[in-house]
Amino acid sequence: EKKEKGEAFEEPKYTFRGFEALPEDMEHLEDKFYGFVFQDSDFYKWVEAVAYSLVNHPDEKLEKTADAAIEAVCQAQQENGYLDTYYIINGMDQIFTNIRDHHELYCLGHLIEGAAAYYEATGKDRLLQAAERYVDFVISYFGLEEPEKENPLKRAYPGHEIAEMALVRLYEITGKEKYLNLSRHFIDERGTRPNYFFFVVRKREDYKKSEEELVKEEQYGQSHLPVREQKEAVGHAVRAVYLYSGMADIAGRTGDNALFQACKELFASMVREKMYVTGAIGATKEGESFLGPFELPNDSAYAETCASIGLVFFARRMLQMEPDHMYADVMEQALYNTVLSGMAMDGKSFFYVNPLKVVPEICKKEKRLDHVKPVRQKWFGCACCPPNISRLLSSLPGYAFTENKDTLWIHLYLGGRIEKMVEGKKALFRITTEYPQDGKISVCYEGEDGVSMTLGIRLPAWSRETKAEILNALDAPCGMGFRLEKGYLYVEGAWEKGTKVRLSVSMEPRLYKADERVKADIGKVAVMCGPFAYCMEEWDNGKNLDELALTAQAVKKGRVWNINGTWFREENVMQDFLFPEAEEGAVEIEKKEIPVLRFPGNRNGKEETLTFIPYYAWANRGENEMQVFTDYQGEAY
């Protein structure tokens, strides 16, 4: 940035040559390794994002750049298959001696994900072959193919999870059971006794931590209990949701019901007790971890972008096994709020941490808030979040839709076309929508006539009134059968060209109160509209936002559906929602129209209009105060 402005700056003393630092070049390196021990993973995430982009936006120049970079990676791979530049550069004699902290298996997981995505996008398997060779080396080195021989590594598992779900993906591409078995092995060993990590670290002469500290470290890496016995989401939030995603993958592929039930309980623990209204998880900077149930501070929230991305991963996998609107609602909540807020609207700066309240002057003074940045950063030394955003957003269709043999589910409302083969026939649906700008969604069938299948469309829990019409090509009611189940409208039968489902979800502003056990939010409400959480900024409301209070009057209402003229009611499910009157408008941020909500309120008892913008858009106009939860002085509820 200084260079661009023509200002003086100090050139970095060393450069990280990474994958180009081949063994024969090592003696010429000025420094053995530059960066974090997991630096390789950032490249693999970039490759994955490139792959997803190439599927819908072919780019010959970008593909050639990726091919060249992939070749550098493959050239760095050792003859035995090992591929981690930290140890290739610093010495192979120490490999897998600290898998709790040094992320070799984490980097392996991202290598697999990047290689699999690139193979599926381009058909090129150069990186995929490198990933297989590395996994085969791990299986051999850990002694997993020789049960009769003793090897401490047989009880090892990743310090930072992700290999678990990546190995399942490698299994699905290659059909090789050994990769599925390795994933299951890592999951089965985690949390067993004696704890493998402590067995290793206690052999180090400088390791003198107390039993209490060791227990915290067990929870930090989710190794405090065998995974099937874990009920509460604890520890490092990103590691946790990556583990839970791998658990869900294994449960889905093997029919392990105990593992599936653990996933359900862990998901409920997060969503009911430890998730912010913005879909953020991870409440403290200490270990980037969860706190206890209902411990959700706003100003010191860690709420890492990657944690919400991992929550999307987990929710998507649960949907694959059990289509329930709860998982899709959470996935949407995380995606449209914390994931989007993690990147500026011009795509050039990022948040690592996504708090729910910011007062810049205080952030700069108080040590407990030194992780909170009032404006997005150009980059991070630990740059996990930017490429993670890239790979999620570029693969979004994989989260919007799932399928089985005869059913297609729509979880997120994205415009476009989706194809599905059913008994050799092609079903094709065109989805037309301006969502989330409005709540109208049209799904029109354009495939072969007579395809018998089921279409499942999510009916979001936050919509007070949802209307659906099932029409034929002449826009008249048709005879397709339908049913409601776990928040999805299922339309069944033989589809004919022109058959359509028109959905309308209410986009009224809503006020949410937090659970009364969340001390930081007693007497406060958060504003939402559609999938978006809203916040106030100093730009629109002046300084000292905590002096403001909402006075909007509202009425509680139940939820209703109207499908082809038939009403279905579910009363009292929205007991914590209010539907206030709001003045709608827009502001221009970075030459984009941002929806604004205005409500009656007051500042220290004096009437004032309060202006709210979507949370994802905050801090795009520069440094200023921001808050999500606001004092409420309206109708009691």
Q: Which residues of the chain have pLDDT under 70?
A: 1-34, 201-208, 554-557, 570-576, 636-637
pLDDT at 22: 43
| Residues comprising the chain, all counted | 637
Contact residues for 154 (Cβ-Cβ < 8 A; gap 6+)? 142, 143, 144
Assess contact for 511 and 595: CB atoms under 8 A: no
- What single string gives the DSSP state of each residue in 356-369? SEE-HHHHHH-GGG
pLDDT at 453: 97
Q: Coil, strand, or helix at residue 321?
A: helix
Judge whether 288 counts as a catalytic residue.
yes
Element (H, E) at 410: strand 407-410
Element (H, E) at 49: helix 39-56
Judge whether 7 counts as a catalytic residue.
no
Tell me, what amino acid is at 461? A
Task: Determine if residue 151 is left, alpha or beta; phi over 0 gives left, psi from -120 to 50 gives alpha, anything else beta.
Answer: beta
Tell me, what amino acid is at 282? G
pLDDT at 213: 79
pLDDT at 576: 59
Assess contact for 599 and 548: CB atoms under 8 A: no
pLDDT at 35: 75
Bridge partners for 598 per DSSP? 583, 611
Q: What tokens does 73 get?
A: 């990676």
pLDDT at 29: 39
Contact residues for 619 (Cβ-Cβ < 8 A; gap 6+)? 344, 351, 358, 374, 375, 376, 626
Question: Which residue, chain included where needed, has tokens 């530059």?
Answer: 34
Q: 420 — phi, psi (to 5°)?
A: -150, 135
d(CA 621, CA 626) in angstroms, rounded, equals 12
Bridge partners for 511 per DSSP? 527, 578
CA angle 622/627/631 to nearest 5° reads 150
pLDDT at 556: 64
Neighbours of 422 (CB within 10 A): 19
d(CA 426, CA 413) in angstroms, rounded, equals 21
How many separate helices (H) and strands (E) can be counted in the chain?
Answer: 19, 23
- What single string gives the DSSP state of each residue in 493-510? EEE-TT-EEEEEE---EE
Q: What are the pLDDT digits (tens) for 75-133? A: 999 999 999 999 999 899 999 998 988 899 999 999 999 999 999 999 999 999 999 99
pLDDT at 598: 96
Assess contact for 119 and 173: CB atoms under 8 A: yes
| First-to-last C-alpha distance (Å) of the chain | 51
> Catalytic pick from 132, 218, 288, 332?
288
Q: Of the candidates 155, 32, 72, which has an alpha carbon nearest to the alpha carbon of residue 83?
A: 72
Task: Determine if residue 26 is left, alpha or beta; phi over 0 gives left, psi from -120 to 50 gives alpha, anything else beta.
Answer: alpha
Q: What tokens does 232 get?
A: 């509460």
> Catalytic pick from 107, 306, 363, 384?
384
Contact residues for 499 (Cβ-Cβ < 8 A; gap 6+)? 444, 445, 470, 471, 472, 473, 478, 480
Q: Of the candidates 66, 85, 79, which has an alpha carbon nearest to the alpha carbon of residue 18?
A: 85
